[in-house]
C-alpha cells in the first residue's frame, strides 16, 4: 500500500456526545467588566444544529440532550467562551456566563484590510483547503469572505487565517447554513498539510420544496456513509464490519537507507559553504528524495473492539499506536477525488497522535486534535460536514 503526497488534515471540532433525553439550560450573557447584559450573542452546542441567540436583555434558554457537551458563546468584540458540561449537572436555575472583551479583536476591527490580488489568491487557497473540492463543496458558498484575516507573511510558505466574526457558509447540496467560529487555520505550501479548527452551528434550510428536500436527504446520506463520524459511531457500537468498514494495521518503519534530517541538513550547509561532503550533490539529491518511512501493511483485518478500554463510569478509550488503514467498502470516492476513476472504495489512514482517544456514541472524540486523517477522510472538508445530531433515516 502506498500513499503519495497525500493531503494530511488535522481537523478538530471540540466535540462531545449527544443523545436524546433533554433538559433546559437557562442563562444570561454578561459583560465580565461591568456585568451589563450582552444581547444577541450566539449560544450553541458546538458542531450541532442546537443553538439560539440571547435576547435583548442577554437571556436565553436552550434544550440540552443527554450526554456531554461543549457550549459556545460568541459575539463580536468579546473572547469566545466555551463551557464543557454534562447534562446531568444542569440545575433549575439561571446560569450567568460572563464574556471578556477582546482588546486585540477590537483594535483589528479598526484596520481596513488590504484586499489586493494576493489577498484574493489566498482566499481561493483558503476555500480549497477549508471548504474543499468535492461535489458538495462546489455547491458550498462562503457568504462573508471579507471577514477573514488572511496572512501569508508571518510564516514562510504558510497561509494563516482567522476571523473576528462567525464566517457564514451556505451548503446547497446538504441543505445547511453554517455559522463557523474559526479558531485557527494553517496551510503549509511546502508539505501540503492543513490544520484547522473551530466551532460550527448548523441550521437546516426550511424553505426547500418537498422534491428538493428529498434530494438533500439523499446527499446527506451519501456524505455521511463512510465519513469519520460514521466510522467512529461504528467503532463505538462495535459494528465496524457490519457498517462496511475494513480496518487493518499499517506500520511506518524508519527507512534505514535514508540519512536522518540532521545529517542531510549538515550536508546541505557544507555544499553552501564549499566544504567537503561525504556525498556528491547527485547522491545528496537522491537521498533527500527517499521516503523517511517504509509502509508495512498487515493483510489480516483487525478487530478494534480489542483496543477499547471501558472505564467504570462508561467512558470508552480507543488505544492504538500505529496507523489504521480504513476502507469503506460500500461506496466509491467522490468523482472529484484524485484518481477517483481508478479506485473502487474510499480509503483513508488514521493516526492517533498520542496513542489514544475517548470516543462518543455520536461519532465525536476527545481530545479534539488527537487524530490525523490522510487519504479520503483527509480530503473531505467543511463542504461535506454534517452536524453531530444528524442521523440517517434508517439508523435512528
Tens place of pLDDT per residue across the chain (396 aa): 333 333 445 454 444 444 445 789 999 999 999 999 999 999 999 999 999 999 999 999 999 988 788 999 999 999 999 988 888 888 899 999 999 998 765 445 444 556 788 999 999 999 999 999 999 999 999 999 999 999 999 999 999 999 988 999 999 999 999 999 999 999 998 888 899 999 999 999 999 999 999 999 999 999 999 999 999 999 999 999 999 999 999 999 999 999 998 999 999 999 889 999 999 999 999 999 998 989 999 999 999 999 999 988 888 999 999 999 999 999 999 999 999 999 999 999 999 999 999 999 999 998 888 999 999 999 999 999 999 999 998 665
Buried/exposed 224-239: b ≥16 CB within 10 Å, e otherwise: bbbbbbbbbbbbbeee
Cis peptide before 346 (omega within 30 of 0): no
Cα–Cα distance for residue pair 75/42, rounded to 1 Å: 6
Sign of CA dihedral 356, 313, 51, 221: positive
What pLDDT, on a 0 to 100 scale, did the predictor assign at position 250?
A: 96
Cα–Cα distance for residue pair 161/186, rounded to 1 Å: 7
- Asked if residue 25 lies in contact with residue 64, where contact means CB atoms within 8 angstroms, the answer is yes
User: Grid coordinates in use for 275?
Assistant: 566544504
Largest alpha-carbon pair distance within the chain?
A: 76
What pLDDT, on a 0 to 100 scale, did the predictor assign at position 244?
A: 98
Match domain 23-108 to its CATH number in 3.30.465.10, 2.60.40.1120, 1.20.950.20, 3.40.50.11540. Answer: 2.60.40.1120
What pLDDT, on a 0 to 100 scale, did the predictor assign at position 314?
A: 82
Cα–Cα distance for residue pair 173/165, rounded to 1 Å: 25
CA distances, 358 to each of 113, 223, 319, 327, 380 (Å): 41, 24, 9, 22, 23
Place of cell 458540561: 85
Which phi and psi (to 5°) does residue 107 adopt?
-70, -35
User: Grid coordinates in use for 165?
Assistant: 466574526
Cα–Cα distance for residue pair 227/23, rounded to 1 Å: 30
- Asked if residue 3 lies in contact with residue 297, where contact means CB atoms within 8 angstroms, the answer is no
- Asked if residue 393 lies in contact with residue 22, where contact means CB atoms within 8 angstroms, the answer is no
What pLDDT, on a 0 to 100 scale, did the predictor assign at position 88?
A: 82
Place of cell 448548523: 202
Amino acid at each position: 500500500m502506498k500513499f503519495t503526497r497525500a493531503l494530511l488534515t488535522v481537523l478538530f471540532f471540540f466535540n462531545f456526545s449527544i443523545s436524546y433525553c433533554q433538559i433546559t439550560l437557562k442563562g444570561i450573557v454578561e459583560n465580565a467588566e461591568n456585568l451589563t447584559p450582552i444581547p444577541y450573542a450566539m449560544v450553541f452546542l458546538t458542531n450541532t444544529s442546537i443553538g439560539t441567540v440571547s435576547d435583548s436583555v442577554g437571556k436565553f434558554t436552550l434544550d440540552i440532550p443527554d450526554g456531554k457537551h461543549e457550549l459556545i458563546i460568541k459575539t463580536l468584540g468579546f473572547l469566545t467562551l466555551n463551557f464543557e458540561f454534562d447534562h446531568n449537572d444542569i440545575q433549575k436555575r439561571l446560569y450567568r456566563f460572563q464574556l471578556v472583551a477582546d482588546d486585540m479583536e477590537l483594535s483589528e476591527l479598526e484596520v481596513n484590510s488590504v484586499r489586493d490580488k494576493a489577498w484574493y489568491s489566498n482566499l481561493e487557497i483558503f476555500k480549497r483547503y477549508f471548504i474543499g473540492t468535492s461535489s458538495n463543496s462546489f455547491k458550498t458558498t462562503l457568504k462573508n469572505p471579507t471577514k477573514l484575516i488572511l496572512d501569508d507573511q508571518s510564516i514562510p510558505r504558510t497561509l494563516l487565517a482567522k476571523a473576528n466574526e462567525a464566517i457564514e457558509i451556505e451548503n446547497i447540496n446538504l441543505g445547511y447554513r453554517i455559522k463557523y467560529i474559526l479558531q485557527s487555520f494553517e496551510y503549509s505550501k511546502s508539505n501540503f498539510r492543513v490544520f484547522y479548527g473551530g466551532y460550527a452551528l448548523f441550521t437546516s434550510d426550511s424553505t426547500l420544496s418537498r422534491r428538493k428536500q428529498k434530494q438533500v436527504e439523499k446527499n446527506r446520506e451519501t456524505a455521511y456513509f463512510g465519513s469519520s463520524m460514521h466510522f467512529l459511531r461504528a467503532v463505538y457500537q462495535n459494528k465496524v464490519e457490519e457498517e462496511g468498514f475494513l480496518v487493518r494495521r499499517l506500520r511506518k518503519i524508519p527507512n534505514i537507507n535514508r540519512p536522518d534530517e540532521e545529517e542531510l541538513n549538515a550536508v546541505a550547509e557544507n555544499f553552501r559553504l564549499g566544504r567537503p561532503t561525504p556525498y556528491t550533490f547527485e547522491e545528496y539529491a537522491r537521498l533527500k528524495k527517499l521516503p523517511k518511512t517504509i509502509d508495512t501493511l498487515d493483510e489480516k483485518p483487525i478487530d478494534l473492539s480489542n483496543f477499547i478500554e471501558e472505564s467504570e463510569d462508561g467512558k470508552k478509550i480507543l488505544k492504538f499506536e500505529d496507523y489504521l488503514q480504513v476502507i469503506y467498502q460500500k461506496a466509491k470516492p467522490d468523482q472529484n477525488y484524485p484518481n477517483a476513476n481508478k479506485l473502487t472504495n474510499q480509503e483513508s489512514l488514521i493516526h492517533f497522535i498520542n496513542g489514544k482517544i475517548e470516543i462518543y456514541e455520536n461519532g465525536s472524540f476527545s481530545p479534539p486534535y488527537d487524530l490525523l486523517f490522510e487519504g479520503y477522510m483527509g480530503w473531505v472538508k467543511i463542504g461535506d460536514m454534517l452536524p453531530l445530531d444528524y442521523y440517517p433515516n434508517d439508523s435512528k
